[in-house]
Structure 1
Amino acid sequence: MQVLVTLRFYAKGCYQTELGDLHGVSQPSVSRIVAKVSNAIAALLPRFVVYPARMEALKTKFYNIDHFPGVVGCID
């Protein structure tokens, strides 16, 4: 349920009180749930997202394509 509450919060960006009413929990609980699940997801980041070793070279190559700063990759 906590993951679902957090995903709905991400997707809808609604007020925590409204989200709590929808799922039968209080606003403070929604706040704690979103923080807890967000931290858990962030902790998994290194396991699933690998940044290239030559990031600066990639930034330069992408910038040279269309002057878009800070890009190191893209998803199609």
Structure 2
Amino acid sequence: MAAEFRTHDGLTLRYRSWSRDPDPSLPPVVLLHGFAVDARLNWEGPGVVEALLGFKGSLQHRLVFRW
């Protein structure tokens, strides 16, 4: 389930976050996927999310590009 963020002008952005005890001193990682696929195919399936989570509990965000 994606979370939502609404901008001041009414634009709604949907995103998903993964984290395991994130280190607040590390910058977040934003994962962007292509037009014809989703985060499961680009980032979860190949193990990218798990590899990044193993890096000192970094925090990743995925924007949902659908209308």
Higher relative contact order (CA 8 A, sep 6+): 2
Task: Return the index of the structure with the highest Cα Rg.
Answer: 1
Q: TM (normalized to structure 2)? A: 0.25
Q: TM (normalized to structure 1)? A: 0.23
